[in-house]
Amino acid sequence: MEGVTLGGTMEASPGGLDKLDELDALVGRGGVAVLSGAGLSTESGIPDYRGPTGQARRAEPMTYQRFVASQEARRRYWARSHVGWRQIGLARPNAGHRAVAALERHGLVSGIVTQNVDGLHQAADADRVIELHGGLDRVMCLSCRERTPRAELDRRLREANPGWAATSDVINPDGDAVLTDEQVAGFRVVDCTGCGGLLKPDVVFFGENVPRPRVEECFAVVESARALLVLGSSLAIRSGLRFVRRAAARGVPIAIVNQGPTGGDADAALLVDAPLGATLTALAGRLGAQ
């Protein structure tokens, strides 16, 4: 399929305006469920994994099993995440996030399922957001299960590591910075102030399952929708692809706006290969959602 090319002013490739018209018609009926991925946040300065701005991951992702079993693994994780949080925590919603929130306020988006852990949908004032993989802005104790703000942990880690000033030029979408062993050495991890238990970001690690009630809530959003709009996700893993497959099985029309091919292209009624911010801003404008 031909894509749509959008820049500062709207330009369309041959057939591109037809695709915008189709997207307009699909979303304009309302009842749209949104499934968003890392590609939606690249314009906020957070790289994705597989899109055109993505980088090959140069640090092995942490697994839940290694995190709970190894003090050294926790040291490496929290040192890298402490650096990465500086970028994730400072990121701000981009035009794409703001357009999705505007479409929701306009009564066209019925729910947002995000695979991202950056909190940018909520920062753009979207309301009905389900964080499939959790959020980096919260920390959970694995013993007493208390959840506390990430900002509080950031303060405690800075106090526990005076003079530690590691930096990194590579930050992954999950807030994991690439650091050397020398940078990690000597980093001090802190535990729960209430019970002394291990602290973990309130996100789903590799090797850990998304809580079943959360998955069912996401399925319910998709199944009750008139259309599914996928934004910035390669759908390369089952975690997000299962919702596209469920929509297709239920006869819910699917539109995908992404730069590059996705694992759900065969199920989509409409494919738009274009930058997310400009495309969604144009869509919101056409639909009167400001």
Distance (Å, whole) CA 264 – CA 119: 24
What is the secondary structure of 28-42 as a DSSP string?
HT--EEEEE-GGGGG
Cross-strand partners of 141:
199
Catalytic residue among 82, 97, 121, 133: 133
Q: How is the chain split among helix, strand and coil, in percent rounded to 5?
A: 40, 15, 45
How many other CB atoms are there within 10 angstroms of residue 174's CB atom?
24
Could you confirm whether 133 is annotated as catalytic? yes
Distance (Å, whole) CA 175 – CA 118: 8
Burial class (CB within 10 angstroms; exposed 0-12, middle 13-18, buried 19+) of 129? buried
Distance (Å, whole) CA 206 – CA 59: 13
How many other CB atoms are there within 10 angstroms of residue 212's CB atom?
8
How many other CB atoms are there within 10 angstroms of residue 249's CB atom?
10
Tell me the helices (H) and strands (E) count for the chain, helix number first: 10, 9
Amino acid, res. 164: W
Identify whether the C-beta of residue 233 lies closer than 8 Å to the C-beta of residue 54.
no
Q: What are the helix (H) ranges across 12-70?
A: 16-28, 64-69
Burial class (CB within 10 angstroms; exposed 0-12, middle 13-18, buried 19+) of 21? exposed
Catalytic residues: 133
